[in-house]
Amino acid sequence: MKTIYSAIQPSGVMTLGNYIGAVDNWHQMQADPNNKCIFALADLHTITVRQDPAKFHENAMSFYALLLALGLDPKKSIVYFQSHVQQHAYLAWLLNCYTMVGEMNRMTQFKDKSQKHSDNINMGLMDYPVLMAADILLYNAHEVPVGVDQLQHIEIARDIAERVNGIYGDIFTVPKGVLKKVGAKIMSLQDPLAKMSKSDPNPKSFISVLDDDAVIMKKFKSAVTDSETEIRFDPENKPGVSNLLTILSVATKKSVDDLVKEFDGLMYGHLKVRTGEAVCEMLKPMKQEYNHLIKDEAYLLECARENAARAEAIAQETLDRFKKAIGYVMI
């Protein structure tokens, strides 16, 4: 079987971009009987930016409920909290000793986040890619579904795995990053040249998967397009319209080409309303299931414990293999 691994940070809200670019892809991969799927809430990564403890806890529980509500099956896949499996931090330290400082200095995300959080440029922020490599390599992942902005981190994970394997033999599976064919990167509704982000100070720029239908419709109706009138897919010259077509394609499961034909002669307003309605319909069953799950904390914690134990068994085997290769005394 092919092992699939991916993770999402439980900070802020889950945006439509998170759902389309990542979680919906996970759901499709879980449906393939040839895949062994492992999905994590990357809550160790989250504290590279200061968190309010109460809100952090609330968000973490909310995200876990959302993953289950969106169709991730904790019996079929492993769906767990990263912080519940201590081997992540242990392997990250070992991998630090096989990672070059220059490699970390070149990481684009570190540079970007350092500018955004100039008052808190901590070592965790710089070491983020090594922990991410540990996350992936612990589970012998063959494929890692990611957004475009994470591809550089996958390359570093591959480099580290190949470096270790070159020294000690076949220790780690070398992973491959996988992009979704449609919707790998959903853009801001207010600035279609920027990625949709939950950290955007303008709430109109992103859709939360838990937004009310009225809020979703209002945000889509105010989406930035352009001064032309033709509806066509042209990300370079018409990024706003192209972003709406991409979202609508995912929500309706229709090809972008077919949608362009359907909107021939229609106005941007029609596209905005249709996209908003399709997104509301797509998210409706998830919201209903989420409202049920979030009230049952005992069930969520039981799932988290069981799945962490399953993850830990795999992680410990990998960690022991690496420690033995290095020469540690094993007891």
Catalytic residue set: 113, 195, 198
Residue 133: CB atoms within 10 Å = 26
Which residues are CB-neighbours of 196 under 8 A, at least 6 positions away? 15, 16, 17, 186, 187, 188, 189, 205, 206, 207
**Residue 41 pairs with which residues in a beta bridge?**
8, 81
What is the distance between the alpha carbons of residues 39 and 71, in angstroms, rounded to a whole number?
12
- C-alpha–C-alpha distance, residues 160 and 91, integer Å: 12
- CA separation for the pair 19, 16 (Å, rounded): 5
Q: Show Cβ contacts of residue 82 under 8 Å, excluding neighbours closer than 6 positions.
A: 7, 40, 41, 42, 43, 44, 45, 88, 135
**CA-wise closest residue to 135 among 302, 4, 324, 307:** 4
Do 213 and 195 touch, CB atoms closer than 8 A? Answer: no
CB-neighbour burial class of residue 315 (10 A; exposed 0-12, middle 13-18, buried 19+): buried
